[in-house]
Structure 1
Amino acid sequence: MAQTATSDGQCIALTADGERCSRTAGSGDYCYQHDESDSTVSNAETASEDESSETDQSSGDAVDEPEPELDEIEVTAEEADEQIEGLLSIRQTVKSSAGDLVGHPFDGVSEITAAEEGWNAVVEVIERKAVPDTQDVIGRYRIDLDENGTVQGYRRLDRYRRGDTTAFDPVQ
């Protein structure tokens, strides 16, 4: 898991979530927070990775994993763009129809998730306007949509005052 030192001077230790430490390495290839005794660094792993990333003696270049083909990167980027466009389309559909559907002024979209057969969106509407606005009564509604963004149904999840700071249970 641990990585060997690179020419960029980055610490070779791994963080608790398995990512490489982003700090600059001091002496010994570690940052001020990590060292050889750190639980995220294993001597056996370091030694095996040292051998696998040794430099090519003929060219002096580091032997690295082959990079993905350019076509593979473009396809991945295109897929990501399509997913983002689909999500933005669903967001716009929910935003434009939530107020009319629920019968109260639209306030915001707080969640959109893909479902087995479409999308689920959680929106907030103003059920009762108050002064000051921290006393507005906000209703949270779940709107179910099919793959094409056609509304299939909705239901109220809860109500709260805009100024409340309590955490919500995850939408099921």
Structure 2
Amino acid sequence: MAEADTDTQQSNDQCKALTEDGERCSRPAKDDGFCFQHDESDPTVSDSQAVEDEQAEEDEQAEQPADAESEEEPRSRDLGADMTAEEKTDPDEVDADVDTDHEEIEGVLAVRRTVQSSAGELIGREFDAVSEIAPTDDGWRAVVEVVERRAVPDTQDIIGRYEIELNENATVHGYRRLDRYRRGDTAAFD
């Protein structure tokens, strides 16, 4: 009995607002039942219970047996309710014969595999990432990032960006360093 009174007292002393995760705020409540950060405009535990009840009703309706066609039809209407006529696309009208150059995709993948497997050894540093692959007149150009110096925290690592030139067959012809930056510095690329 004393434990139940303690739990009730503790829940009354706790803020009744919900956090973004849907959990109850753990801060102590003021006289109005909310902490210093929340007020009446924030969702409360009682509000969330109403939402949970509505969700349970929707789940029950979804579990009821229904004809597959009748279930799918309203769903598609709901999805298009906020869309204009220009934004809606009929799947039957989509041109499935779009010309895709599979050879170029295979070429990019071959260059990526070559660069990943050889960049660290070629440059003499720990490979970190491939940031760019582009075709050129003579073959391919890849930009890779390697860790030139490890640091703690890792946002202070020194990263080198290197350009690697490859021929049409993804054979490396040369490389050069483009620049260096700290891993945490994103301003240089904005």
Q: TM-score, with normalisation over the residues of structure 2?
A: 0.50
For residues 166 and 115 of structure 1, the distance between their equivalents in structure 2, rounded to whole angstroms, comes to 28
Query: Any unmatched runs of 5+ in structure 2?
Result: 1-79
Aligned residue for 2:52?
none
Q: Which of 127, 137, 141 is matched with 1:116 structurally?
A: 137
Please name the residue that 2:120 is paired with. Answer: 99
Quick one: which amino acid aligns to residue 139 of structure 1?
G
Instruction: Give the match for residue 131 of structure 1.
Output: 152
Identity between Structure 1 and Structure 2 (%): 59
**How far apart are residue 119 of structure 1 and its match?**
0.3
Q: Distance in 2 between matches of 1:93 and 1:168?
A: 26
Give the CA RMSD over aligned residues.
2.8
Partner of 2:31: none
Query: Which of the pair is proportionally richer in helix?
Result: 2
What's the offset of the Cα at 1:167? Answer: 3.3
Give, in whole Å, the separation in 2 of the partners of 1:167 and 1:154: 22
Matched, 1:146 2:163: no
Alpha-carbon distance in structure 2 between the residues aligned to 1:87 and 1:97: 15
Corresponding pairs, count? 107
> What's the TM-score once normalised by structure 1's chain length?
0.55
Letter in 1 for 2:116: K
Structure 1 residues 5-24: aligned runs within 5 Å = 11=84, 21-22=86-87
The 3-state SS of whatever aligns with 1:22 is coil
Divergent runs of 4+, >3 A: 8-12
Q: Structure 1 regions of 5+ residues with no counterpart? A: 1-7, 13-20, 25-66
SS at structure 2 position matched to 1:153 = strand
User: Cα offset for 1:85?
Assistant: 1.4
